[in-house]
Amino acid sequence: MRDKIIYGIGIAAAAVIAWNLYAIWGLPDEVNQGSVYKIIFFHVPMWAAGGTGAVTSLVASVLFLITRKFKLDALAVASTEVGLAFLTIGLATGSIWGRQIWGIWWTWDARLTSALICWILYAGYLMLRRAVEEPTQRAIFAAVYSIFAFIDVPIVFFSIKWWRTQHPQPVFWGGGSFPPDWTRHFLWNMAAMIALGVVLTAVRYRQEEAQREIDSLRRMAHAL
């Protein structure tokens, strides 16, 4: 039943993305940027999905430290890994967009730099997990590290408000606006990406459970 719900959400998200891709392709060009602005319909939702992964990881890590339930550790690693994939896409699409509009692939402004640090921190989280063998110690270290890594997330989010950056102000809370039909496509894409993130996290969470089963089977094999 749980599988059916997960795959149902996944299929619905994929259908919304496919429909949106077709609809967005047909939208008129923006007056200053031409057609390349359409990357925003994917760039921002990818960051939203990545941010959702980071928040989930933070909550799961805090709850793990309180309850010491390994299911929460599994949720933290699953959401971090999926979130990192979305952050990678966010960085890549942003860089490609910047190359056309700013004329550069990358600049060390506050938003881009803090976003890269965020990516490195969460990649470090996954590397840390590989480095520690003992499961309880690994889970505790990883939970503490995840809480530390999250400090960068609000810095990424507010950097464009706190400092002058090459990266523009956000459309919706920076004084800009979208025509209503663009907003509709944008919000649908946002919902679909987050739903896709939830599905991938659920699948990855199940894999962590399978890994724990393997560990216990190995222990049994050694005991026999």
Partner 1 sequence: MYLLLAQITVEDLEREKLFLQHNYQFLTFGLMAAWLILAIFVLMMFSRERRLKREIASLKAMLEEKSAKA
Q: Which residues bind partner 1 (CB under 8 A)?
A: 21, 29, 33-36, 38-39, 42-43, 46, 82, 85, 88-89, 92-93, 96-97, 99-100, 200, 203-204, 207, 210-211, 213-214, 217-218, 220-221, 224
**Cβ atoms 49, 83 nearer than 8 A:** yes
**Cβ atoms 112, 166 nearer than 8 A:** yes
Closest separation in Å from C-beta 162 to partner 1: 27
Closest separation in Å from C-beta 77 to partner 1: 13
Closer to partner 1 by Cβ: residue 127 or 164: 127
Exposure string over 53-91, b if 16+ CB within 10 A, otherwise e: bbebbbbbbbbbbeeeeeebbbbbbbbbbbbbbbbebbb
Closer to partner 1 by Cβ: residue 54 or 140: 54
Closer to partner 1 by Cβ: residue 137 or 207: 207
Closest separation in Å from C-beta 167 to partner 1: 16
Residue among 89, 9, 14 nearest 49 (CA): 89
* Distances in whole angstroms, Cα of residue 69 to Cα of each of 34, 72, 133: 51, 6, 18
Closer to partner 1 by Cβ: residue 1 or 221: 221
**Cβ atoms 84, 126 nearer than 8 A:** yes
Closer to partner 1 by Cβ: residue 88 or 165: 88
Closest separation in Å from C-beta 12 to partner 1: 16
SS3 32: coil
Closest separation in Å from C-beta 163 to partner 1: 25
* Burial group, residue 105, by CB count within 10 angstroms (0-12, 13-18, 19+): exposed
Closer to partner 1 by Cβ: residue 18 or 151: 18
Closest separation in Å from C-beta 180 to partner 1: 22
